[in-house]
């Protein structure tokens, strides 16, 4: 009898105070956020020259930015193949210091303002969907303040970002783009000045270490078989150290 009375009392208490039933719920800790990894952007230059080699880039399992040259035999093949796979930018040919390295369809220092604008627009018309560009060669042109300002005004008018390949220490591209409030970035490391695979590997690890020190870093390589092979083999092993991003994500 006493037992029945106690059960009735407990039942009445639970009806009157339902919160008591929830008081023993287990507390669940929120999931831990993954730490932010340093960011690395790798730009691969000179696409448009040899699609048979360039298509091997598709086997590199990281985010890349592909800089495609205008007016080359394989420009449109590369654009068509990679457009939905990786970020693409215009690789704009600019005048180098050495005349022997001049190329056709290059913007040169002897051009007037209207010709610079016309050449730029013609190159851009090859890939009008791009959101940015970097310079191909250009060690002479990027060191000329007035000429770079002319070019960058066109870049700004088209609402593009500019990546200074920094092919020479006197390049003004990055600084002028900053001054003109154009989103910009600058190359930190060249991966393949030497085409020796061990040298390329060492440069890749150098840019990773730089990103770990600064928070972010930018490298430029080329569509060389050796560079493609090293990136294909080494880059996936570095994903626990850095996040590989498109160059547009590192423009400021």
| Domain positions in the chain | 39-250
pLDDT by residue, tens only, the chain of 252 residues: 544 455 445 455 555 555 544 444 454 545 545 569 999 999 999 999 999 999 999 999 999 999 999 999 999 999 999 999 999 999 999 999 999 999 999 999 999 999 999 999 999 999 999 999 999 999 999 999 999 999 999 999 999 999 999 999 999 999 999 999 999 999 999 999 999 999 999 999 999 999 999 999 999 999 999 999 999 999 999 999 999 999 999 999
Question: pLDDT of 106-119, one tens digit each?
Answer: 999 999 999 999 99
Q: Six-digit token pair at 68? A: 């495609």
| CA dihedral (76, 77, 80, 84) positive or negative | negative
The CATH homologous superfamily for domain 39-250 is Glycoside hydrolase/deacetylase (3.20.20.370)
How far is the C-alpha of 126 from the C-alpha of 68, rounded, in Å? 10
- CB-count exposure of residue 207 (10 Å: 0-12, 13-18, 19+): buried
Report how many helices (DSSP H) and strands (DSSP E) the chain contains, helices first: 8, 9
Contact 223, 54 (CB under 8 A): yes
Contact 188, 217 (CB under 8 A): yes
Instruction: List own/partner pairs for 225-230 with CB under 8 A and 24 or more apart.
Output: 225/53, 225/56, 226/192, 226/195, 226/196, 226/197, 226/200, 227/44, 227/191, 227/192, 227/195, 227/200, 228/53, 228/56, 228/57, 228/59, 228/60, 229/197, 230/191, 230/197, 230/200, 230/201, 230/204
């Amino acid at each position: 009898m006493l037992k029945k009375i106690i059960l009735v009392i407990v039942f009445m208490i639970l009806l009157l105070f339902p919160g008591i039933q929830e008081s023993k719920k287990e507390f669940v800790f929120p999931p831990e956020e993954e730490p932010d990894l340093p960011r690395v952007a790798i730009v691969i230059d000179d696409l448009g020259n040899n699609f048979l080699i360039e298509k091997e880039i598709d086997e590199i399992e990281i985010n890349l930015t592909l800089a495609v040259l205008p007016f080359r035999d394989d420009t449109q093949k590369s654009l068509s193949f990679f457009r939905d796979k990786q970020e693409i930018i215009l690789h704009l040919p600019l005048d180098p210091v050495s005349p022997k390295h001049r190329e056709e369809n290059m913007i040169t220092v002897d051009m007037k303002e209207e010709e610079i604008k016309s050449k730029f627009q013609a190159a851009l018309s090859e890939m009008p969907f791009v959101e940015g560009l970097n310079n191909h060669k250009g060690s002479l042109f990027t060191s000329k303040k007035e000429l770079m300002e002319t070019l960058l005004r066109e870049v700004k008018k088209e609402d593009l970002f500019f990546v200074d390949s920094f092919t020479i220490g006197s390049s003004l591209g990055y600084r002028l783009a900053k001054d003109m409030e154009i989103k910009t970035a600058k190359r930190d490391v060249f991966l393949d000045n030497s085409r020796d695979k061990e040298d390329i590997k060492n440069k890749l690890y150098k840019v990773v270490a730089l990103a770990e020190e600064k928070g972010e870093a930018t490298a430029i390589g080329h569509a060389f078989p050796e560079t493609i092979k090293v990136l294909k083999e080494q880059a996936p092993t570095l994903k626990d150290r850095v996040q590989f991003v498109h160059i547009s994500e590192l423009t400021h």
